Amino acid sequence: MTGPLVSVEGLRVLFKSADRTVHAVNGVDFALQPGEVLGLLGESGSGKSVTLKALLRLLPASRTTLSGKVTVAGHDVLSMDERALRQYRGGVVSMIFQEPMLAFDPVFTVGDQIAEAVMRHEDVGRAAARGRALEMLERVRIPSAKRRLDAYPHEMSGGMRQRAMIALALACKPQLLLADEPTTALDATVQIQILLLLRELQKEFGMAVIFVTHDVGVAVEVSDRMAVMYGGRIVERGSAADVIRRTAHPYPQGLLASTVHGAMRGTRLEAIPGAPPDLSRMPTGCAFAPRCRLADDTCRSVAPPIAALAPGHEAECHQPRVLSA
């Protein structure tokens, strides 16, 4: 197959309830090459998790309106039926979460669940599938892996459960891994171990990864490219260095300026004023305009165009100004 592994065009996700419509994702476009790692950054409610769930069709069908075009490894994701989705999930694309108990069933052992997943996607017997489960637990460096095959998820420590969830997600060698804040709940000394493990496995398996986080440092550790979301759209994208060092959009600029790091004692933090937008009442112009120090009448009334700053580096803003850090 040539061309990108993932192609997302004009993705929109609406949640309808009796009294309001939430515009969670409002026209997201991106492409991902095989083996590439995209870090997806943004504040709470900016649409990061919903974007990932749309790629796996995990949103409640009755209340969700999905539109746009999503292609992953040749599959037209938004038009797949349930049968096709079962093969697609876990086989082509896997997901890991902040809370590993979302991925595991508490009443089955870890080994059985990994073996089960392998048998669902590949034509192998139980013994071979158990063998793969053991291999995966060793691969993610769970101590005494053989014994842990028969452990229940709750019998493991937090860091170990996270490793087991990675083993489960990668057992069928997916081409794309979706990671939704998988290290946010972990201790600092454990988080860095898991980030390095993911980096290593990603290279070894040659899979593409979309890694969602709200932590700039975590995104820097794992990403080739980065995209920053605000109000359900990607407002800036580029290489990690473009987005961190040559930031052009006022929102990621503000996000970086307000992120405490290094020796900043005694200096006042440059906070972004105000609060994130109400997704049931999106403005017609730029969603960031109410909080933006540069906003003018055009910003408030006209949706901003995409400004190309360098090859692969884009910002969605009427007045992009590269601030070099």
Ligand X SMILES: Nc1ncnc2c1ncn2[C@@H]1O[C@H](COP(=O)(O)OP(=O)(O)OP(=O)(O)O)[C@@H](O)[C@H]1O
Site for Mg ion, rule CB under 5 A = 49
**Rounded to an integer, what distance in angstroms lies between the CA atom of residue 229 and that of residue 3?**
25
Beta carbon of residue 173, minimum distance to other proteins (angstroms, whole number): 25
Stretch that binds ligand X, among 48-56, 117-125, 167-175, 305-313 (CB under 6 A): 48-56
Q: Specify whether the CB–CB gap between 312 and 239 falls below 8 A.
A: yes
Please pick, from the candidates 6, 50, 140, 198, the single residue that binds ligand X as defined by CB under 6 A: 50
91 interacts with, out of ligand X, Mg ion, other proteins, none, CB within 5 to 8 A per kind: none
**Rounded to an integer, what distance in angstroms lies between the CA atom of residue 247 and that of residue 6?**
25
Beta carbon of residue 275, minimum distance to other proteins (angstroms, whole number): 5
Binding site for other proteins (CB under 8 A): 43-44, 143, 157-160, 187-193, 195-196, 214-218, 220-221, 223, 239-241, 244-245, 254-255, 258-265, 268-273, 275-276
Instruction: Give burial (CB, 10 Å; 0-12/13-18/19+) of 93.
Output: buried
Q: Counting contacts by CB under 6 A, is residue 45 touching ligand X?
A: yes
Q: Counting contacts by CB under 6 A, is residue 49 touching ligand X?
A: yes
Nearer of residues 115 and 156 to ligand X, judged by Cβ: 156
**Rounded to an integer, what distance in angstroms lies between the CA atom of residue 258 and that of residue 103?**
34
- Our measurement of the distance from residue 9's CA atom to the centroid of its chain's CA atoms, rounded to an integer in Å, reads 17
Alpha helices in 206-264 (DSSP H): 216-222, 240-245, 250-258
Phi, psi of 50, rounded to the nearest 5 degrees: -65, -40
290 interacts with, out of other proteins, Mg ion, ligand X, none, CB within 5 to 8 A per kind: none
Q: Counting contacts by CB under 6 A, is residue 153 touching ligand X?
A: no
Return the CA Rg of the chain: 21
**Rounded to an integer, what distance in angstroms lies between the CA atom of residue 41 and that of residue 212?**
6
Nearer of residues 49 and 109 to Mg ion, judged by Cβ: 49
Beta carbon of residue 144, minimum distance to other proteins (angstroms, whole number): 12
Q: Counting contacts by CB under 6 A, is residue 24 touching ligand X?
A: yes
**Rounded to an integer, what distance in angstroms lies between the CA atom of residue 118 and that of residue 69?**
29
Nearer of residues 41 and 129 to Mg ion, judged by Cβ: 41
Task: Quickly list DSSP for 68-109.
Answer: EEEEETTEEGGG--HHHHHHHHHHTEEEE-SSGGGTS-TTS-
60 interacts with, out of Mg ion, ligand X, other proteins, none, CB within 5 to 8 A per kind: ligand X
Q: Counting contacts by CB under 6 A, is residue 46 touching ligand X?
A: yes
Closest CA to 117 of 160, 164, 168, 57: 168
Beta carbon of residue 22, minimum distance to ligand X (angstroms, whole number): 5
Binding mask 253-292 for ligand X (x = CB under 6 A): --------------------------x-------------
